[in-house]
Amino acid sequence: MTLDAEFETLSLDTERPFTIARGTTRTVEYPLVRISDGDGNEGIGGAAPTRHYGETAATAAAVLPDLLDAVETIGDPHALDRIERRLGEVVRRNPAARGAVSVALHDLAAKRAGLPLYRLWGLDPDRAPETCYTIGLDDVDAMAEHAREAVDRGFSTLKVKLGTDRDREIVRTVRSAAPDAALRVDANEAWSRADAVRMAEFLADFGVELLEQPVPADEPEALRRVYESAALPVAADESCVRLPDVPAVADRADVIVIKLSKCASLREARRMAHAARAEGLDVMLGCMVEAQPSIAAMAHLAPLAEYVDLDGSLLLADDPFEGVGMPGGEIDLAAVDRPGTGVRER
Ligand SMILES: [Mg+2]
């Protein structure tokens, strides 16, 4: 069999400027990979390069020709472990570039098997939690209005970005705008240990269900202190990038956040979910602002997670792809009636 692999970089606008503690995103440069098998099947993959993890669309584009050469050389779309190992030898970094190839190969392998990806993996679609919807940083009234809109669209869980000097005001205002929503917050490393311990108490009083990455990833002791004193579950995102990080955060967090843009492959994402289980950790599947090819692929893993934050495509002005729909947050895998990830051009 011969495989033919190519890529392009798409430029995708966000629906509104998306701001977190580290900065604002207005446009996402998204590498898109297509791999075809000569039998009329094409796998589509993508992933969001993230500067925080040392990757940009330009560095992804620089390594993708070598990655795709390796795919064509091995030439077997079902040799997923072998190709993944080879990709890791060709490029040690660039998790999004390798992740995009991983998604395209899994989409292709599942299409060749004639099964949706979650069925190929034997996962139970009834176990997929709903996705939350993220409220980015803005002025407080705009965040409250955005929260109200999300609740009106049917989302029952909101993730509120924090990491400002007005975090308490944001939580109070969003809470009163969405009194019945489940709230999670994400400080994206912005707090000191002392601030985080105090904020955890405040957040628990407001019924917040989860505190994500309160302190910098390079301060593991601070994370442990927050985890030990907090009255609500703590999730490790920036502190948990790849598989070896899972046991390392087991005594510092309740939940790990798995993202394709960090861990470089769907297979590694699955290994991390199983390792978390072994360590007594819960799993959140997360994303960057990104399009359906990667969002849908991760959504097929949702039955392995307790928490899902896969709203990346919903934050785009126009996703050129459809895949796994999430009306009101519900991830309805059983409704994916196409083989592969279900992704196709709109
Ligand atoms: Mg996060």
CATH number at residue 198: 3.20.20.120
In angstroms, what is the span from residue 187 Cα to ligand 1's centroid? 8
- Residue 1 has a pLDDT of 81
In angstroms, what is the span from residue 224 Cα to ligand 1's centroid? 17
In angstroms, what is the span from residue 188 Cα to ligand 1's centroid? 6
In angstroms, what is the span from residue 77 Cα to ligand 1's centroid? 32
How far lies 217's CA from each of 134, 241, 273, in Å?
21, 10, 20
Q: Of the candidates 95, 114, 133, which is a domain's last residue?
A: 114
In angstroms, what is the span from residue 43 Cα to ligand 1's centroid? 28
- Residue 54 has a pLDDT of 95
In angstroms, what is the span from residue 163 Cα to ligand 1's centroid? 12
Pair 102, 135 in one domain = no
Number of domains observed in the structure of the chain: 2
In angstroms, what is the span from residue 44 Cα to ligand 1's centroid? 26
In angstroms, what is the span from residue 238 Cα to ligand 1's centroid? 7
Pair 212, 298 in one domain = yes
| Closest of 158, 122, 132 to residue 304, by C-alpha | 122
CB contact at 8 A, 20 and 136: yes
Q: How far apart are the C-alpha atoms of 199 and 25, rounded to whole Å?
A: 26
Q: Of the candidates 84, 114, 144, which is a domain's last residue?
A: 114
pLDDT below 50 — which residues of the chain? none
**CB contact burial 220-232 (16+ within 10 A = b; e otherwise):** bebbbbbbeebeb
Pair 277, 296 in one domain = yes
In angstroms, what is the span from residue 191 Cα to ligand 1's centroid? 13
In angstroms, what is the span from residue 287 Cα to ligand 1's centroid? 8
In angstroms, what is the span from residue 277 Cα to ligand 1's centroid? 20
Pair 98, 159 in one domain = no
In angstroms, what is the span from residue 240 Cα to ligand 1's centroid? 10
Q: By residue range, what is the domain housing residue 108?
A: 4-114
In angstroms, what is the span from residue 210 Cα to ligand 1's centroid? 11
- Residue 262 has a pLDDT of 98
Tens of pLDDT, residue by residue over 34-93, are 999 999 999 999 999 999 999 999 999 999 999 999 999 999 999 999 999 999 999 999
Pair 328, 247 in one domain = yes
Pair 207, 247 in one domain = yes
- Residue 203 has a pLDDT of 98
